[in-house]
Structure 1
Amino acid sequence: MNRTRKNLKKITFGAFLTLLVGLYSFSPKGKDIDPKPTKSTNIPIFTKVVYHGNDKVYNDYPLEADEFYSPILQGCYPDPAITRKGDDYYLVCSSFAMFPGVPIFHSKDLVNWTQIGHVLDRVSQLDVHDTGISQGVYAPGITYNPKNDTFYMITTAFAGGAGNIVVKTKDPAEGWSDPYHLKFNGIDPSLFFDDDGKAYIVHNDAPDPGKELYNGHRVIKIWEYDVEKDQVIEGTDKIIVDGGVDISDKPIWIEAPHIYKKDGKYYLMCAEGGTGDWHSEVIFMSDSPKGPYIPAPSNPILTQRYFPKERENKVDWAGHADLVLGPDDKYYGVFLAVRPNEENRVNTGRETFILPVDWSGTYPVFENGLVPMEPKLKMPEGVENKMGQEGYFPNGNFTYTEDFSSDLLDYRWIGLRGPREAFMEQTKNGLEINPFETNIKELKPTSTLFYRQQHRTFSFTTTLNYKPKSEKDLAGVVALQNEQSNYVFGVTKKDKDYILVLEKNSFSRRERSAKSEVLASTKIDISSPIELKISAEGDKYTFSYSTDGATFENLGGTVSGDILSTDVAGGFTGALLGLYATKANDMAL
């Protein structure tokens, strides 16, 4: 076994423990969060944010008229699933403890995407108030059922006692039902609606008791699904894949199953190898939706695991895919992958990529999915690239400016463990963030508005108007991987002085302990609004400020982005950049 697989087994074992905690130790149901808490008398006001991404790969590979970039969704948009109704495509991603949950996107052509909201946008649908950032909502599936003209989103929620749930709607842009709780364990469920009106759920699960053969041994189960009752039919469950393509190879983490029907045959596509550097996509075929399923002779059909570690413009960890018939009557597959930085760290998280799929033979194969991936793709015939224009989601290098003057806050802004509306208000003076008596390190909702890091080289700048009253008050910006791994850069008070401070919060896996360290601080004049900036060039992060709106001064030098990467901090999310306020500051100045 090579070194990468040994490392991966460590990663997936940690993931396995996390999943077990989620499956068997759901937290008690929490109370709804009051959307109108008592207002603080010294509320921070953020008047502007500018995010600028400038990755070398996009400068080196400018687009021609008939090209577009993949990933189509940069930053932490993992575990994509896709469905189609007529000319409309809908795509969803995992959101973990972010709130609202499960971002949903719409497209007419698979190139140009708009975010139309979130599937789980109410506390009655999703309770993540006391969970770690990498728990919450995992691996959603979205499926359109033409028999009843209804869309279904199915997922596993490791929080609030939810377990596996399904919600549905006639129109994804108009909101979704409260959850139907499904009576089975396991993760990564998806729905399949057959031509005869029957419905099925497939999902990852543990082997039967006493039959686990090795660490990472999982199975794929199928259930019949009652569309009228929105529940699996008791006693219909059956294991259709045990271990993976070849159990004699001890494959790990067979998961993320989807069933498709083509030319009278049933195809089961799954991820295999764990969501790390041995990740892949594999395919099976059967004459019946309930099997037996025979693996294709040429698996995997998508992976990046065989190539040199130091390759240029590296894309890695490819897998967890879903297929759809495109507007040109060709198949396409969306999937997750990562773009590590020069230190091979994954700060942008797992992103959503797309590739054409060749299904001219018996089995589908991702085109150029078994060679090192390129940053550009040819567009489907007749499609115009409008990404970043006319409300379409941007990709490549771009600048996003937000002044918080719109009636509707852009969907890219999210909360953590609770609704944004509980702490923020858009006013004529800017965005007010009412500080909670919790800080960024607590497993509670925090008064922080987050934006995903979408580039390896970026800057994130905001203007802050704020006057803290005590050392317990702090407002500013954060760069966060999780509650134990983050940087806080903000304004507080010590005695009669106003202080700008940079704090590093980190967690040692070896020592199993958290550490908070003030890296730098300085007295600051806050008689006028100040500008705060987070910048990065790969693994090198800097924090700087301006009191005159023109000249920025660095505070704390250059720091490592290692704690903002999943391979160091653990978990499944990418780095988040936040506008932060608290009445529970505990920095030791």
Structure 2
Amino acid sequence: MKKKPLILLSVVMMSLFSFTGIDDKDKPKPKTAKNPPVFSRVVYQGEDQLYKKYPLKEGEFYNPVLQGCYPDPAITRKGDDYYMVCSSFAMFPGVPIFHSKDLVNWTDLGGVLNNVNEFNPHDTGISAGVYAPGITYNPHNDTFYMIVTAFSGGLGNIIVKTKDPMKGWGSPIKLAFEGIDPSIFFDDDGKGYVVHNDAPDKGKELYNGHRVIKVWEYDLVNDKVIPGTDKIIVDGGVDLSKKPIWIEAPHLYKKDGHYYLMCAEGGTGGNHSEVVFISDSPKGPFKPSSNNPILTQRHFPKDRPNKVDWAGHADLVLGPDNKYYGVFLGIRPNDKDRVNAGRETFMLPVDWSGTFPVFENGLVPMEPKLKMPKGVENKTGKDGFFPNGNFTFEENFTSSKLDYRWIGLRGPRENFISITKKGLQINPFQVNIKEMKPTSTLFHRQMHNNFTFATTIDYKPASEKDLAGITCLQNERFNYVFGITKKGNDTYILLERTEKGQSKIIASTKIDVKKPLRLQVKATGDSYEFSYATDGADFKNLGGAVSGDILSTNVAGGFTGALVGLYATAANDAQPE
């Protein structure tokens, strides 16, 4: 991966995306197809050796708590209810949100920004869109606030509110400040403060990666930062003389009469860490802890077993056992040390018995399991709770309510799907997977380094412009397409690899589509295999084992994890050889 953290991309995005609306004529429209593909019996199965080697014992749960591309977590609490949000970039809906009563068992509530008329990432790169949210409950007015940076539709930094996250959120309110990674804090006296990452004052940037943390007073009546109240409270990081880079993701807390500012430092890569400062005022001056960093994995051998890396971008909350916990992002590379599953949400207990908080075991190589808070039962993957570890997810598309883990890219999934008696029908857009537009693809995050994803497809393409099947995607310039299309009067199945925007057919073969086909992708670390089966027979591999390198951020760049999806297009340009 390019060793450039989130902030660098965001600065570029500021100048690229000043779009303020979308006309109906610009919206992708499904093609009126005589025979659109129908998908049924989707099975995603995780098979990581780690979870086989470390089975759970009584009182344990797995870390990460959210596998796959759920980075930049932020968390808040009201009574016994915990709510956690993550970045989603150009995925739709924006800002996934989860609910828990115990920090172990989480329910997926969908996305906070689910109205495409208010948040529309239709023309953004996959690593743009919306990211680095903060979520805070304000007990003074019994209101939840979600604040985030959105690079689409000219939004910039926005805030949304609700009395009940279970019932949806209000419309975005645009805030008048630059920079990224905002969070909001409410003091004991009811006053509000916003902290965020920004560039140094003009002419004062000392080196590449030099950033500052700013604070503003917040007007709760009019929902805006108060002009003229902004102040730089951290310049560069813990020690400016050492040229620290990419101080970001700030959160304010108050404990025992002191104010604490916790930030990420070092960039979202191998040097990532979490640092903390203290003050007697929310507007500083802030003094760094003498034992910074309080969380990092950067000091350990690259070849360590069960490696978790890039730990940082954290938030703290008081747990059900009256003990503090921190959520943060991290990665679990595959056998080639590549990051395909993306940055995931991890958790650790936090020792705050002294002046400063410290992540327990956050400065030693992280383990795959944690002890649960006292009195909690592990129900992950059961009773509607989000799964973790190795699990099997089967979708037959028989329910009118589609599971929230199915997402769209750059637009709502509802724009192209229909539930039929035979399964899920995708009404194809005249857009293919290589375009920076909404695609008619129903995506699922890659959540394991070893997994299989299979589906049954009933489809008879009418022309060479029609294709449907499976895609494995890191972005529009790096992806695989495994699909059914036409060439002349014949029907083919093909495997296409796109790298740096250049496409190549790896293999293709004629097939008979009188009956539905079973399609499958199987990943074993970096090795991906695409196979098909007819008449319930054994799978036949197409193209041999291919590298998952293009599905990693190491090769493709960006900030998202790989997605695997059910794909259809009426603008196919992949032709069998």
Interval containing the TM-score (normalised by the shorter chain): over 0.9
Match of 2:506 among 519, 528, 541: 519
Query: What's the counterpart of residue 431 of structure 1?
Result: 424
Counterpart position of 2:180: 187
TM-score, normalized by length of structure 1?
Answer: 0.96
What SS class does the counterpart of residue 396 from structure 1 fall into?
coil
Other-structure match for 2:109: 116
Q: Helix, strand or coil: the match of 1:165? A: strand
- 1:328 matched residue in structure 2: 321
- Out of 37-46 and 190-199, give the one that drifted further: 37-46
2:282 matched to 1:289?
yes
Q: Name the structure 1 match of 2:118.
A: 125
Residue among 550, 564, 570 paired with 1:583: 570
Secondary structure at the counterpart of residue 588 of structure 1? coil
Q: Which residue of 438, 446, 453 maps to 1:445?
A: 438
Q: Return the offset for 1:42.
A: 1.7
Shift of 1:567: 1.1
Q: Secondary structure at the match of 2:67?
A: coil
Q: How many angstroms does 1:37 deviate by? A: 4.8
Contact 1:413–1:449 under 8 Å retained in 2: yes
The equivalent position to 1:237 in structure 2, one of 217, 220, 230, is 230
Shift of 1:48: 1.4
Match of 1:373 in 2: 366
- Determine the structure 2 residue equivalent to 1:318: 311
Q: Does 1:25 align with 2:19?
A: no
Deviation at 1:256, TM superposition (A): 0.2
- Residues 301-327 of structure 1 deviation map (CA, whole Å, 9 limit, x = unaligned): 000000000000000000000000000
Question: Are residues 36 and 488 of structure 1, via their aligned partners in 2, closer, same or farther at CA, if it must alter by over 3 Å?
Answer: closer
Q: Could you say what secondary structure the match of 2:574 adopts?
A: coil
CA distance in 2, matches of 1:544, 1:51: 15
Residue type of the alignment partner of 2:435: E
- Structure 1 stretch displaced more, 371-380 or 546-555: 546-555
In structure 2, C-alpha distance between the alignment counterparts of 1:245 and 1:16, rounded to whole Å? 18
Q: Distance in 2 between matches of 1:127 and 1:417?
A: 7
How far is 1:105 from its partner?
0.3
Aligned: 1:568 with 2:555: yes
Instruction: Work out whether 1:12 is the aligned partner of 2:4.
Output: yes
* Alignment RMSD: 1.2
Deviation of the 1:39 alpha carbon? 3.2
The offset of 1:427, in angstroms, is: 1.4
CA distance in 1, matches of 2:359, 2:32: 53
CA distance in 2, matches of 1:573, 1:135: 10
Tell me, in whole angstroms, the C-alpha distance in 1 between the residues paired with 2:443 and 2:489. Answer: 31
- Contact kept in structure 1, 2:260 and 2:277, CA below 8 Å: yes
Q: How far apart are the structure 2 equivalents of 1:139 and 1:359?
A: 25
- The alignment status of 1:172 with 2:165, answered yes or no, reads yes
Aligned to 1:204: 197
2:155 to 153, 157, 162: 162
Quote the offset at 1:429 in angstroms. Answer: 1.3
1:364 corresponds, among 343, 349, 357, to 357
Which of 499, 520, 530 lines up with 1:543 in the alignment?
Answer: 530
SS of 1:397's equivalent in the other structure is: coil
Q: What do the CA deviations read for 1:442-488 (whole angstroms, capped 9, x no partner)?
A: 01110000000000000000000001011000000000000100000
CA-CA distance at 1:32 after TM superposition: 6.4
- Is the contact between residue 32 and residue 124 of structure 1 (CA under 8 Å) also seen in structure 2? no
Which amino acid counterpart does residue 532 of structure 1 have in structure 2? L
Tell me the CA shift for residue 400 of structure 1.
0.4
Residue matched to 1:510: none
Q: Cα deviation per residue 1:141-195 (whole Å; 9 max; x = unaligned)?
A: 1000001100010000111101000001011011111100000000000000001
Identity %: 71
Contact 1:44 1:464 in 2 (8 A): yes
Check if 1:42 corresponds to 2:29.
no
Offset from partner CA, 1:380-423 (integer Å, 9 cap, x none): 01000000000000000010000011111000000000111110
Deviations 1:530-553 (A, max 9, x none): 011011010000100000223000
Q: Distance in 2 between matches of 1:451 and 1:18?
A: 24
What is the Cα deviation at residue 587 of structure 1?
Answer: 1.5
Aligned AA for 2:365?
P
Asked whether 1:248 is paired with 2:241, we answer yes
CA contact (8 A) 2:31 2:430 kept: no
Counterpart selection for 1:97 from 90, 94, 112: 90
Aligned partner of residue 11 in structure 1, secondary structure: coil
Q: Is the 8 A contact 2:28 2:430 kept in 1?
A: no
Judged with a 3 Å threshold, the aligned counterparts in structure 2 of structure 1 residues 162 and 460 are, in CA distance, closer, same or farther, namely same
- Confirm whether residue 147 of structure 1 aligns to residue 134 of structure 2: no
Looking at structure 2, the residues matched to 473 and 124 of structure 1 have their Cα atoms a distance apart, in angstroms, of 29
**TM-score of the aligned structures, taking structure 2 as reference length:** 0.98
Which letter maps to 1:353? F
Describe the superposition over 1:105-161 as per-residue Cα deviations: whole angstroms up to 9, x where unpaired. 000000000101210001123110011100000101100000110001000011110
**Alpha-carbon contact 1:30-1:129 (below 8 Å) kept:** no
Partner Cα separation in structure 2 for residue 32 and residue 480 of structure 1: 28
**What is aligned with 2:471?**
478
Task: Report deviation, 1:296.
Answer: 0.1
Aligned length: 574
Query: Would the aligned equivalents of 1:23 and 1:185 in 2 still touch at CA under 8 Å?
Result: no
- Tell me the equivalent position of 2:519: 532
Q: In the alignment, is the contact (CA less than 8 A) between 1:220 and 1:242 conserved in 2?
A: yes
- Partner AA of 1:370 in structure 2: L
Q: Report the residue type matching 1:206 in the other structure.
A: A
| Alignment partners' CA distance in 2, 1:166 and 1:189 | 9
Task: Report the equivalent of 1:413.
Answer: 406
Compared CA separation, residues 391 and 381, structure 1 to 2 (3 A): same
Structure 2: how far apart are the matches of 1:439 and 1:311?
A: 40
Task: Report the CA distance between 1:24 and its aligned residue.
Answer: 2.8
